[in-house]
Amino acid sequence: MGVDVRIWYDTEFYEDGRTIELISIGLVREDGAEYYAETILGAHFASRSQWLRDNVLRHLRQGDAVKTTNTIRNEILAFAGDKPEFWAYYADYDWVVLCQLFGRMIDLPNNWPKWCRDLKQLATYHGVQLPAQEGIEHHALADAKWLRDAHLWCEQYINTNGL
Ligand SMILES: [Mg+2]
């Protein structure tokens, strides 16, 4: 078995209290590799609420970023590798919408963990105030890169301060 490879990711999604629909997803791997994609219906869903129109729709890249969910699933599978360790921020909805690319929970790849780590929980547990995000927000790849940076900063802060 290989070593766990950390993957920081973020999604933008539409949700109405009953269902979650993926709009876009960005992932950053520990070695610095990045992945970004938007769903075919992403722009459609991103136009369905005022908040999404104001915060998400305008950041969508469209064009070659738009892919079928089958393609997104297969590309993420390859990107994640043999032993991924997933990190998100306020992770719950992001985790469900990522997992739903595969169908049900039991349809997840065997080598994937059935849970996601959450920087919000780590920071809260240790009483750490995370640095504010600068630049573009609510673009899934920009958010994933902030998450990576904030997580590494947080780990160092915890170690330095013996928390
Ligand atoms: Mg986001």
Contacts of 59 (CB under 8 A, 6+ apart): 136, 138, 139, 142
With a cut of 90, say whether residue 163 has pLDDT above it.
no
**DSSP H or E stretch at residue 38:** strand 34-39
With a cut of 90, say whether residue 2 has pLDDT above it.
no
- Cα 10 to ligand 1 centre (Å): 5
Mean pLDDT of 69-74: 98
- Cα 102 to ligand 1 centre (Å): 21
If you ran DSSP here, which 8-state letter would residue 14 be given? E
- Cα 114 to ligand 1 centre (Å): 21
Mean pLDDT of 63-77: 98
- Look at residue 34 in the predicted model and tell me its pLDDT: 98
Rounded CA separation 40/66 (Å): 6
- Look at residue 140 in the predicted model and tell me its pLDDT: 98
Neighbours of ion ligand 1 (CB under 5 A): 10, 138, 143
* pLDDT tens profile 21-54: 999 999 999 999 999 999 999 999 999 999 999 9
- Look at residue 1 in the predicted model and tell me its pLDDT: 55
Mean pLDDT of 84-104: 97
Query: What domains, with CATH codes, occur in the chain?
Result: 5-160 (3.30.420.10)
- Cα 109 to ligand 1 centre (Å): 24
- Cα 26 to ligand 1 centre (Å): 9
- Cα 83 to ligand 1 centre (Å): 24
- Look at residue 54 in the predicted model and tell me its pLDDT: 96
The pLDDT > 70 percentage for the chain reads: 99
